């Protein structure tokens, strides 16, 4: 069996605003997230995990931040591209696991909506997708609420 594992990591800093986009869901918050695209840190980590499993570089190579056409882009465009690349190369996505690291906003109330959104974009059953969250015990930049970090893993299986 040809099984590939990839990981992804991303960080976006807070800026003035009233919501953050996380795993495709708009979550009300006292700040927004700064980024060239919609700054969906969770979706970026998942996208990089899939590229990583394929050995296909990273999100910045496929969608350069220097290219104005991606300014304000919705991050599902990036994730759909990674999933399409996997299919083109003969792989099915087995599962995706994403951890959001922040003190606030609270992720729990939005977890199911995030899973549903990711399932639809990736084309995967919701029970093969995990979105979970942790704090960093008030330590470091996430602890000081300067931004949000996300970690993701994806498995790809040759079909």
Q: Which residue is nearest to Mg ion (CB)?
A: 44
Interaction pattern, residues 37-56, with Mg ion; x per rule: CB under 5 A: -------x------------
Q: Residue 31 interacts with Mg ion (CB under 5 A)? A: no
CB of 41 to Mg ion, least distance (A): 6
Q: With CB under 5 A as the rule, give the number of residues binding Mg ion.
A: 2
CB of 112 to Mg ion, least distance (A): 24
Q: How far apart are CA 83 and CA 56, in angstroms?
A: 12
The alpha-carbon radius of gyration of the chain (Å, integer) is 15
Q: Residue 76 interacts with Mg ion (CB under 5 A)? A: no
Structure tokens at 70: 């991606």
CB of 10 to Mg ion, least distance (A): 4
Per the rule left: phi > 0, alpha: psi between -120 and 50, beta: everything else, 39 is left
**Residue among 19, 152, 130 at smallest CA distance from 78:** 152
In Å, what is the CA distance from 44 to each residue of 32, 58, 74, 125, 137? 16, 10, 11, 20, 24
Indicate which single residue of 4, 6, 8, 10 sits in contact with Mg ion (rule: CB under 5 A). Answer: 10
Q: Residue 21 interacts with Mg ion (CB under 5 A)? A: no
Structure tokens at 141: 């930049």
CB of 65 to Mg ion, least distance (A): 9
User: Which residues are at the interface with Mg ion (CB under 5 A)?
Assistant: 10, 44
């Amino acid at each position: 069996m040809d099984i590939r594992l990839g990981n992804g990591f991303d960080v976006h800093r807070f800026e003035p605003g009233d919501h953050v986009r996380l795993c495709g869901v708009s979550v009300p918050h006292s700040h927004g997230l700064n980024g060239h695209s919609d700054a969906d840190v969770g979706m970026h980590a998942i996208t990089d995990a899939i590229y990583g499993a394929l050995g296909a570089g990273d999100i910045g190579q496929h969608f350069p931040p220097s290219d104005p056409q991606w300014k304000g882009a919705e991050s599902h465009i990036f994730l759909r591209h990674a999933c399409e690349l996997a299919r083109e190369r003969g792989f099915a996505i087995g599962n995706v696991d994403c951890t959001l690291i922040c003190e606030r906003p609270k992720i729990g109330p939005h977890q199911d909506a995030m899973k549903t959104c990711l399932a639809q974009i990736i084309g995967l059953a919701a029970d093969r997708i995990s979105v979970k969250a942790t704090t960093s015990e008030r330590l470091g930049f996430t602890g000081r609420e300067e931004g949000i970090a996300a970690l993701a893993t994806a498995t790809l299986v040759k079909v």
